[in-house]
Amino acid sequence: MDNWKAHIKSTFEEIDSANNVSASELNSKWRIVEAGIAKKKNKILWIYSGGIAAALVCIILLALVNRNNSKIIQNIVQTKSEQKKIVKENQLYKKNNSEASKQEFLPFQKQLIKNTDTNTSEKIVTINPIQHKIDSNNTPIVTETITAKISTRTKKPKRNSVFLSNNSKKSSENKVAQNPKIKLSDLIDLDKNGRHANAQREDRNIIKH
């Protein structure tokens, strides 16, 4: 190393090591450093706790999904077995149509739950096969309900046929009297002779007799 370089370096090192800082200044600066280090620790804690919380939520969600799936499967199995049971019991009911068997098996109770789709005629109907089957201890055995989708035909409303009674004829005549622009023939089914259809029918009956 060059002399001048070594000289300058040693001079600076002496200056640096001779530098004094008061205890209060050191303390205040240390507090800043300590706070800076604690910030990092807090950040790490937050990251860890956040990760743990996220993992817990995932585990809970997975458990819920699994539970629901197992329930659905269980329900499907149960409903199938119930359906089989019901079919068998129906057959039994038909066979043993005696009074004793009537007491043992009661007909299904039908209950309308809700109409899911108003546009179609399909309705969800719960067939409640609460079969008051009595076991050996004379206590009723209640089976679970099953839900089935059945289609029901809604009756079309009949067209309003024009049938005028004597009263209605009178009311029509009154309407004509109130409003002279309306003709009576517009309101009542009259023949060319101006007679009402009922009167014609009566005439025809008289002729037959």
Partner 1 sequence: MKIEQHDIIRLTQNDSRVQKAVFERLYPILLSMAKRYSGDDMMAEDAVTTAFIIAFKNVDELRSTNPNSFFAWLKKIVINQVLSDLRKNKKYVELDIEYEATGETDDTILSQIQSKQLLTLIDKLPVNIKTVFLLFVVEDYTHSEISAMLNISESNSKVLLHRAKNTLKNWIQKENNLTQKQNG
Binding region for partner 1 (CB under 8 A): 2-5, 7-9, 11-17, 19-21, 26, 29-30, 32-34, 36-37, 40
CB of 73 to partner 1, least distance (A): 51
CB nearer to partner 1: pick between 40 and 149: 40
SS3 content of the chain, % helix, strand, coil (to 5): 60, 10, 30
CA distance 174 to 192: 22
Give the DSSP per-residue string, 37-48: HHHHHHHHHHHH
Q: Are 85 and 142 within 8 A, CB to CB? A: no
For residue 148, give the nearest of 161, 168, 129, 169 by alpha carbon. 129
CB of 52 to partner 1, least distance (A): 21
CB of 49 to partner 1, least distance (A): 19
CB nearer to partner 1: pick between 46 and 108: 46
CB nearer to partner 1: pick between 5 and 159: 5
CB nearer to partner 1: pick between 38 and 60: 38
Cβ of 131: how many Cβ atoms within 10 Å?
A: 21
CB of 47 to partner 1, least distance (A): 14
CB of 1 to partner 1, least distance (A): 9
CB nearer to partner 1: pick between 5 and 208: 5
Q: Which amino acid is at 47?
A: I
